[in-house]
Amino acid sequence: MSDYVIPAHATSRAAGDAYLMLLGGVLLGYAVIGKGFAYIGAPPLFIGEMGLLLGIVVFLRSGCLFASLATLPAVLLTVTMAWVLLRTVPYIREYGFDAARDSVIVMYGIFAFIVIAVLLQDPRRIRTIMRGYLVFTGIFIFSMPILAPASHFLKDYIPFMPGHIGVPMLQLRAGEVATHLAGAAVFAMAGFRKTTLVWVLALVAVLVMVSALSRGAMFAAILPICFAAVMLGHWRKLIVIAIGAGFLFSVAYSIEISFTERTDYAIRDSDSRTVTPTQIVDNFASLFGQGSGSGEGTARWRLNWWTIVIDETIFGEYFWTGRGFGANLAFAHGFGWQAPGEVRPMNRSPHNATISVLGRAGVPGLVLWILLSTAWLLLVLKAMLHARRHGNTDWANLFLFVFCYVLAVIINAQFDVALEGPMQGIWYWCLFGFGLGAVMIYRAQPREHQDIVETR
């Protein structure tokens, strides 16, 4: 590992181990509790920001500052963060904390460098992370059949976080849950977890629920799982499962439309959707402009908003600069709505990470964002194919796992406000860093450490 790993003092390694455990606990809290967990603390130091500050200390003490920049995606991330910083600083005086809050869509990328440094300092931590995620898959999958329905159906009875009116103690968004379902499913498909019938049924039940609540969640889970099935050679099983599931779904759909009365209405968020076969059909059909009122309502205002952002940046006065980080884009573009009597924080961003970066950082920011994401995906995909060709099955499956996980988050982020918040944003950048760190370690000595990712 001498190509990348710099010898560190024992206390620095101990700090890295302790931080890894702390970060795992934070990520678990975001996944199973959601927004309520994110508001532990007080502005501007919530639990995510505390974890970021501690991580920076660990990063600086790791001795891996320059080694963490040894890949193209890491360099692109550095440049992208610098551009976002330039588009944030001028607005701090005017918008204060809002400017910093909006910039985290990219600035949480610091977590990527922290994770890279932690891995390079001690490559054995890959095994530790995989074992930790094995525990996570058990906690998450068995808790979601209770917590996810409670978050949706009992939301009026969930108390608010102390000192934060409008922030429930438990709030799990469908898209966030879906990304973790995809990660857990691919983790098991890749052979890193032995599954039971109860575990699989729990995963499928929650997947059906989130697919009804959000079209983004539906595709964020299903597409990466299908990709993994094809890459692992399970496409025949996938076809059989799809046929069986399609038959059962058709029966349920036929029963529903035959014995229930359908009322179409326009909605603006997933909280108003019902968990039914008809709603899943509407979610899919709305992508092609054929959905009912309940699906078309949310799709239409998003598309209208995205069109405005594109017109004023790619074809307008904000081409080079965007509107900057801090301004409420919803109000700036005439989409600042809130239901009567609603106490939750108002909408700020256009439910699409790519459009949000374009609107705030201009075309240069958009180009950097696309290059960054593409470079990471290609790097990890290339490493996966290389490992598979050379018989390093565990490494190949690890890269497939993290590739599909990140892909799930990217898909969800195109339909919802995802990376703009810590619940999904910190997860994304930690996965981003984990992928880069793993590729660097694999490149250094893939043969001598080809069993490093075993969790069985």
| Mean per-residue pLDDT pooled into runs of 10, the chain (456 residues) | 48 85 96 93 87 94 88 96 96 89 94 96 94 96 94 88 83 94 94 91 89 86 93 75 57 53 49 54 53 56 86 92 90 67 63 93 96 97 94 94 97 91 95 97 70 54
> Is the Cβ–Cβ distance between 203 and 272 less than 8 Å?
no
Best CA proximity match to 183, nearest among 6, 342, 410, 437: 410
Structural contact between residues 107 and 56, judged by C-beta atoms closer than 8 angstroms = no
Q: For residue 424, what are the contacts with CB-CB under 8 A and spacing of at least 6?
A: 30, 175, 176, 179, 409, 412, 413, 418
Q: Which among 47, 19, 44, 21 is positioned nearest to 114, based on CA atoms?
A: 19
What is the token pair recorded at 231? 């890459």
| Cα four-point dihedral sign 416, 25, 398, 241 | negative
The pLDDT of residue 86: 96
pLDDT confidence of residue 127:
94
Give the C-alpha separation, 304 to 316, whole Å. Answer: 16
What pLDDT is recorded for position 266? 46
Interatomic CA distance for residues 144 and 195, integer angstroms: 16
pLDDT at position 41 is 86
Tell me what pLDDT residue 5 has: 45
Residue identified by tokens 């950097």 is 368
Distance of alpha carbon 26 from its chain centroid, rounded? Answer: 15
What confidence score (pLDDT) does residue 237 get? 65
pLDDT at 166: 79
CB atoms within 10 A of CB 393: 14
Q: How far apart are CA 277 and CA 201, in angstroms?
A: 18
Find, among 218, 138, 130, 131, the residue nearest to 177 by Cα: 218
pLDDT at position 333: 80
CA 145/CA 205 separation, integer angstroms:
7
Strand partners, 42: 45
* Beta strands, E only, 92-191: 160-161, 164-168
